[in-house]
Amino acid sequence: MTDQTEVVHSLDNDELIELYRAAGFGGRVGWGRKAAVLVIDMAGTWTEPEAMIGSDLRGVTAEIKRVLDAARAAEAPVIFTTMAYDPSFSDVTKVSRLKTPHAEKMIRGQASAQVIPELERRPDEALIEKPRASAFRNTNLVSVLVDQGVDTVVIVGCSTSGCIRSTAESAVDLGFHALVPREAVGDRSASAHVANLFDIDQRYADVVGVDDVIAHFAERD
């Protein structure tokens, strides 16, 4: 058994990757028949560094735009998410507000809950308001995907340690192929980002490069 005090969770840690492979983790799910892009929580609440849970995601935004350009050229579905609650907070539990007080900053209708304009969301690209970290939890996302014949989701956005990880876990639980382009997801904590990318890759989704995703969509353009 590896000395747990020496473990560094990183996609570059070949020794740890081999340890997980030997334990039966880290298989590849690959691409299915039809892919959609899920753009997770790229709204002002998360992308404005001065916001309570905001961080500098300019580099991530640029990589997401590259993915979106390729997906749109291939006429692949694109779906956005955000989180927002009624000003009365009647639709969010007290426990959630106690554990994550930032929920009280996510008010329905405010500009901070809107998708950032840089991503140029189109009228036919669904916007799903999710109450929890996973884009699948208590939303109609599955219905939207099934209706369009989608069996593969490319998950981009933020945050790697929260909503990205949770969405990837739900995707595999529901039988969807899931891929996470590493350059197109971000987190306010660099260490949390790296550690969770490793766990996502071993347990829930294939962590790949943005160029790999672009190449896949180009084959279907």
Q: String of b and e for 70-84 (b: at least 16 CB within 10 Å)?
A: bbbeeebbbbbbbbb
Helix (H, G, I), strand (E, B) or coil at 86: coil
Q: What sign does the CA torsion over 191, 196, 201, 206 have?
A: negative
Among candidate residues 141, 163, 164, 194, the one labeled active-site is 163
Q: How far apart are CA 218 and CA 160, in angstroms?
A: 26
Residue 48: name the closest of 63, 33, 58, 39 by CA: 58
Amino acid at residue number 66: R
Encoded amino acid at 134, one letter = S
Those residues whose C-beta lies under 8 Å from the C-beta of residue 33, and which sit 6 or more positions away, are: 149, 151, 152
Q: How far apart are the first and last CA of the chain?
A: 47
Tokens found for residue 67: 């993915």
**CA angle (116, 207, 3) in 5-degree steps:** 120
**Residue 158 annotated to the active site:** no
How do beta strands 78-82 and 35-40 pair? parallel
* Residues with a known catalytic role: 163
